[in-house]
Every structure is written in structure tokens, then in C-alpha cells.
Amino acid sequence: MSDFTLDITKFVEKAKGNVDTVIRKVAADLLTRVVQRSPVGNPELWAANQTAAHYNIEVANYNIALRADPANLNRAGRLKRGKKLKDGMQVNAPAGYVGGRFRGSWVISIGSRPTTQTERIDPSGAATIAAGMTVLAQFTAGPSIFLLNNVPYAAAIEYGHSKQAPAGVVRVTLAEFRDMIARAVGEVNQS
């Protein structure tokens, strides 16, 4: 028997008849953590924009250094006219690009694996989590719960493509699975 199966068996015994509630709590915790850990595209982090991003940071640092010298400040404490460096490089992204497609593409289903890809763009993750909670509210023990992201680049992100999530999203969350079960059982047994 696998460690995963043993954990499930132990938590069912400890849940004292509240298995549905415990499973919903654990699934909600998994969903929330996976969505919140999902990277959101930031063109400033893209390799193609590194020179521009670095240059813009240096310009900002130069202006901060100017403010540190009182000789560069007027009576109001602002930089004197003509002192501030007004320069920068364009950070490029495709026309109409908005980050949040990967984060918005997490889907929960009960009983069968989702095969479609959502077109939700959700940089905060709030809409994705809310949609998942609506599905989980219908859960009763028996069928499997699936948490999936069907965007074509999901596997690449999980295996280190994103500097925002170098250890992945799902693997990091699953490493906390036993703690999630213990917490959910504790909450249910206290209520």
C-alpha cells in the first residue's frame, strides 16, 4: 500500500464521520495553494527583456542616488529642475498581452478528468478559486476529485520553466499534503 493510500486511510479513521467535510477542506486547500503559487507572466522577467529591465532599474537607482545629495534638492525636498534622469528602455510583450492565463486555467472536477482548456485570465486567482469552491461544495465521498491545468505549457512551468516557480507548483503543494490533512481533520473534530 502506498504512503498516499495509508494517509487517506488514517485520516478517514480520524475524521469521525465527517469525511466529506475533511476531503472538501483538503481539496480547497490544495486548490488555493496551487492557484496562488502559479506564476503570472511578467514581461520584465522574460529573457528577451532583461537588458531593458536592468537598464530601467539602473536609471531608477541613479535618481535615488541624486536624492541622497542635499545639493540636488530644492527647498521642498524634491530634485531640482533638470537633475532627474528621464530615460528608460521599452519592455516588450505581445500586443494585448495580459498575464494570468496559467493561474486562471486551474479547473476542479468531480468524477472525471477535465479535458477542455478554460480561457479565464485571472492574475489574482480569486475567480479561479471561487469557481473551484463552487464545484467542491457539491462533493460527497466516493468519486475522485481532479485538479488540472490544461494549458499547453503547464508541464514546462511545473518542471522549472518559470523563474517565479523553479520547483514547480503542484510538487511543492503535494509536499505539504500530510499537513493539510492533519489540519483539516483537526478543524473538523473541533467543530
Q: What is the mean pLDDT of each run of 10 residues along the chain (191 residues)?
A: 54 70 91 94 69 83 87 88 87 74 94 88 93 93 91 92 88 90 83 70
CA–CA gap between residue 9 and residue 95 (Å, rounded)? 51
Nearest alpha carbon to residue 106 among 37, 172, 162: 37
* Distance from C-alpha of 84 to C-alpha of 67, rounded to nearest angstrom: 9
Q: Taking the alpha carbons of 67, 42, 107, 12 in that order, is the dihedral positive or negative?
A: negative
pTM here is 0.69
127 close to 104: Cβ distance less than 8 angstroms: yes
Distances, alpha carbon 67 to alpha carbons 53, 104, 118, in Å: 22, 41, 48
Domain locations along the chain: 3-41+100-190, 43-98
For strands 145-149 and 106-110, give the pairing: antiparallel
